[in-house]
Structure 1
Amino acid sequence: MSLLAFLQGLSPLEGWLNGALIVLSILTSGMSAAVGIGGGTLLIITMAQVMPAAALIPVHGMVQLGSNVGRATLTWRHVDWALMSAFLPGVVIGALVAAWLMVRLPAGVLELCIAAFVLLSCWGPALPHKALGWGTTLMAGAATTLISSLVGASGPVVAAFVKHSQTTRLARVATFSACMSFQHLTKAFVFGVAGFVFHEWLGLMVAMVLAGLVGTWLGLKLLRRLSEQRFDALFKWVLTLLALRLGWLGIERLG
Structure 2
Amino acid sequence: MVSSMFADLPLWTVALLAVSSFLGSALSAALGVGGGSFLIIVMANVLPPIALVPVHGVVQLGSNAGRAWLTRSHRENAIVGWFFAGSVVAAVLSLWLLNQFDASFIPVAVAAFILYLSWGPLPNIGLGRKPWGLALGGLITTSVSVLVGATGPLVSAWLGRDGVSKWQYTANFSSCMTSQHILKLAVFGVAGFAFTPWLGVIGLMIVAGYIGTKVGLSLLDKLPEQLFKTAFRWVLTVLAARILYRFFFAA
Distance between the aligned counterparts of 1:25 and 1:131, measured in 2? 28
Distance between the aligned counterparts of 1:243 and 1:82, measured in 2? 33
Q: Match for residue 36 of structure 2? A: 40
SS of the residue corresponding to residue 66 of structure 2 reads helix
Give per-residue Cα distances to partners, 1:226-255, cap 9 Å, x unaligned: 6xxx65x5798689779989x989x999xx
Aligned sequence identity (%): 38
Give per-residue Cα distances to partners, 1:170-213, cap 9 Å, x unaligned: 11111111111111111221111111100010111011001111
Q: Match for residue 143 of structure 1? A: 140
CA apart distance, 1:225:
3.8
Q: Aligned pair in 2 of structure 1 residues 31, 113: CA closer, same or farther (>3 Å)?
A: closer
* Residue pair 1:48, 1:56 contacting (<8 A) in 2 also: yes
One-letter code aligned to 1:25: S
2:176 counterpart of 1:174: no
* Residue pair 2:25, 2:209 contacting (<8 A) in 1 also: yes
* Residue pair 1:68, 1:181 contacting (<8 A) in 2 also: yes
TM-score (norm 2): 0.81
2:85 counterpart of 1:85: no
Give per-residue Cα distances to partners, 1:92-141, cap 9 Å, x unaligned: 11111111221359987x8499649972415xxx75xx784111110100
Q: Match for residue 196 of structure 1? A: 193
Which of 33, 48, 60 pairs up with 1:52? 48
Distance between the aligned counterparts of 1:131 and 1:174, measured in 2? 14
Distance between the aligned counterparts of 2:48 and 2:22, measured in 1? 22
Q: Aligned pair in 2 of structure 1 residues 10, 243: CA closer, same or farther (>3 Å)?
A: closer
Distance between the aligned counterparts of 1:217 and 1:134, measured in 2? 31
CA apart distance, 1:224:
4.8
Q: Match for residue 25 of structure 1? A: 21
Distance between the aligned counterparts of 1:18 and 1:237, measured in 2? 28
CA apart distance, 1:46:
0.6
Q: Aligned pair in 2 of structure 1 residues 90, 182: CA closer, same or farther (>3 Å)?
A: same
TM-score (norm 1): 0.80
Distance between the aligned counterparts of 1:235 and 1:121, measured in 2? 20
* Residue pair 1:166, 1:172 contacting (<8 A) in 2 also: no
The root-mean-square deviation of aligned C-alpha atoms, in Å, is 3.5
What aligned pairs does 1:1-255 form with structure 2 within 5 A after superposition?
Answer: 6=2, 9-102=5-98, 103-104=100-101, 111=113, 115=117, 119-122=121-124, 127=126, 132-164=129-161, 167-225=164-222, 233=226
Distance between the aligned counterparts of 2:140 and 2:211, measured in 1? 31
Distance between the aligned counterparts of 1:183 and 1:235, measured in 2? 26
SS of the residue corresponding to residue 208 of structure 1 reads helix
CA apart distance, 1:11:
1.8
One-letter code aligned to 1:219: G
Structure 1 runs not aligned, ≥5 long? none
CA apart distance, 1:153:
3.0
CA apart distance, 1:9:
2.2
